[in-house]
Amino acid sequence: MAVLAPNSCVLYRELCLRDPWMQQSNGGGCSLVSSRGGGGLAGVSDKVRTKRGGWRGEVKVEAFWQDVSRPTSIEMEAISGIDDLDEILRQSKDLAQPIVIDWMAAWCRKCIYMKPKLEKLAAEYHPRIKFYFIDVNKVSQALVKRGNISKMPTIQIWKDGEWKAEVIGGHKAWLVLDEVREMIQKNMR
């Protein structure tokens, strides 16, 4: 039986109401012991426990509903040198498409924490804006100076081949993302 429910508890409740075995003389009392939290996840397996402590089978929730028309995250491309940056800026200028560059370092915990969040943000703006990252330890200092980078993570927006604005991410990730969204909105016009 395939049942689509918003979470495993709703599915369990539906099974309790429909299954006469669960409504027998023990008062119909049963509880749900979830092996993982939350519904809507693919492959969540929950065990049904009766009031008297016995186990009854497994309830498998195979529902996973999300908007698959858009990806949930887009992997940012790496910029490996000055020539690479020049080519990307030339392409963005030709296409009249702004780009976002995340200046980061592999040793920077906040940078590592921010990268997947920026990749989710990239999915929101795809294909209007492309997102890139530069690991400052893997490129020349001339490239780092060109970006005028002093702290990391620094998230910059470039438009028409020129630097337009930046957010230096030394505070909470959700605040940084809000500031990046605001920066993008101001420079999309």
Q: Catalytic residue numbers?
A: 108, 111
Identify the three-state secondary structure at position 21.
helix
Which candidate, 139, 36, 40, 33, places its Cα nearest to that of 84? Answer: 139
DSSP string, 89-144: HHHHHHHT--EEEEEE-TT-HHHHHHHHHHHHHHHHHTTTSEEEEEETTSS-HHHH
Which candidate, 96, 109, 100, places its Cα nearest to that of 76? Answer: 100
Pairwise CA distance, residues 147 & 136, whole Å:
10
Pairwise CA distance, residues 7 & 37, whole Å:
9
